[in-house]
């Protein structure tokens, strides 16, 4: 394979399956996927309240350079999420409102980047959702080659082109396209189960009793006393 490539075609999950994962949200999808796929917490939401689910278009970029982000726009389809990793550690603000405008014009839902963004006030006004490692006004050049639609690692998580990216205020989770339907079904089952638990807890039932945790406390040697001095 060439050292630097732009791959035009990506195998994406079905749109209806992507939408189902988006409805479930990051926390539920992470659990439904067997507690896999979670992007590290250094990548955080910069547009509060935003939530997206889409297919990943990936970028591997040199630090301090956003040339390949511009190249990636041409490969994006409506409903995609741009996912950017750098070849070495970076917090430079390689993404701002102009690139967001370009992506928005092509129907891209948001950005996940293991580096910095800037123009955050404008991004919030647009609104264009971003999840980034940093907010940093340091700009970038457009000079160095990289690749588009190759596997990348973002905050410790492998992301392949076409993987489903779900992002909200809780963070970002990635689901392989081949597992998307399976995980969506598991997420829906989990959501239904949680609704029943929520109703039980709202009625006043203690989690200790709903989850039958009292025998576990006893096995672990936890003793109930009325006052602290009784435990001595």
Show binding-site residues for substrate. Answer: 96-99, 118
Spell out the alpha helix ranges (H) of the chain: 15-24, 26-32, 67-73, 97-105, 120-125, 180-202, 207-210, 214-219
Three-class HEC string of 190-229: HHHHHHHHHHHHHCCCCHHHHCCCHHHHHHCCCCCCCCHH
d(CA 148, CA 166): 20
Binding residues: 96-99, 118-119
- The terminus-to-terminus CA distance of the chain in angstroms comes to 70
């Amino acid at each position: 394979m060439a050292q630097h490539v732009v791959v035009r075609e990506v195998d994406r999950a079905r749109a209806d399956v992507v939408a189902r994962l988006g409805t479930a949200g990051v926390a539920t999808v992470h659990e439904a996927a067997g507690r896999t796929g979670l992007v590290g917490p250094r990548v955080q939401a910069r547009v509060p309240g935003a939530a997206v689910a889409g297919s990943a278009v990936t970028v591997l970029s040199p630090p301090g350079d956003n040339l390949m982000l511009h190249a990636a726009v041409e490969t994006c389809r409506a409903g995609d999420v741009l996912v950017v990793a750098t070849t070495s550690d970076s917090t430079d603000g390689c993404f701002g409102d102009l690139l967001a405008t370009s992506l928005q014009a092509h129907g891209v839902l948001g950005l996940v980047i293991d580096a910095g963004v800037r123009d955050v006030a404008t991004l919030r006004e647009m609104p264009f959702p971003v999840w980034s490692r940093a907010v940093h006004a340091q700009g970038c050049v457009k000079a160095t080659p990289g690749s588009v639609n190759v596997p990348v690692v973002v905050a410790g998580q492998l992301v392949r082109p076409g993987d489903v990216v779900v992002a909200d205020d809780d963070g970002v989770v990635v689901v392989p396209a081949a597992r998307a339907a399976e995980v969506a079904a598991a997420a829906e089952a989990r959501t239904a189960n949680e609704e029943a638990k929520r109703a039980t807890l709202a009625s006043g039932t203690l989690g200790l009793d709903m989850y039958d945790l009292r025998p576990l406390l006893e096995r672990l040697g936890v003793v109930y006393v009325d006052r602290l001095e009784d435990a001595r």
